[in-house]
Amino acid sequence: MARSRWMIVLWMVMGLTAAEADIYIYRDASGTLCYTDSPDARQIDLMGARPMGGQKKQKNGRMWSSSAYDAIIVRAAEAHSISFALVKAVIHAESGFNPRALSPKGAKGLMQLMPHNVAFYKIKNPYDPYENIMGGTAYLKSLLTDFKGNRKLALAAYNAGPTTVRHHKGIPPIAETRAYVAKVERFNSYYSAH
């Protein structure tokens, strides 16, 4: 019986498109596993990331699925020789998996690409998950290369800009940037372990 239930869940996850793959799992008060496509604060994303403080909700209360873009993240990570966990961690920290995220500074989409990066990487639609993740991962790879593989400096540059990091010869003394680097590092550890 339990095997049948897992086969049904696996079939549901594998058979749905990315937009439809928001399947969540949680334990009810009696300890029974429950599956749903309508998440709330009790629920855990079936494909690997329980809600952490950084997951964002829209005004209508929707929590974005942390697994909906895994196939694209795998492809981007492999194309740019970066770990899946790091790319997913950046997306989690940047947008909380919201493909329509827009910052007050004009950063767009899942990886919060600034307009100059959208232009540089020839991204036609920064809200398109595939284009955004591929462009954002290419940018992250360039920062890792520029900072000789130093992940913390590359992450600081992703947040504050490479010029600021070079000027300070390290992670700049900007509270937002320091918090950002720490957050991505936590998410990276989480995704690396799961």
Tell me, what DSSP letter sits at residue 63?
B
> Is 94 in the active site?
yes
Helices (H), ranges, the chain: 2-15, 70-79, 84-95, 115-120, 129-146, 151-160, 162-168, 175-193
Which of 94, 131, 176, 185 is an active site residue? 94
Residues 6+ apart with CB under 8 A from 67: 21, 22, 45, 46, 47, 48, 49
- Measured at the CA of 131, the angle between CA 160 and CA 182, to 5 degrees, comes to 30
Q: What are phi and psi of 110, to 5 degrees?
A: -60, -45
Catalytic residues: 94
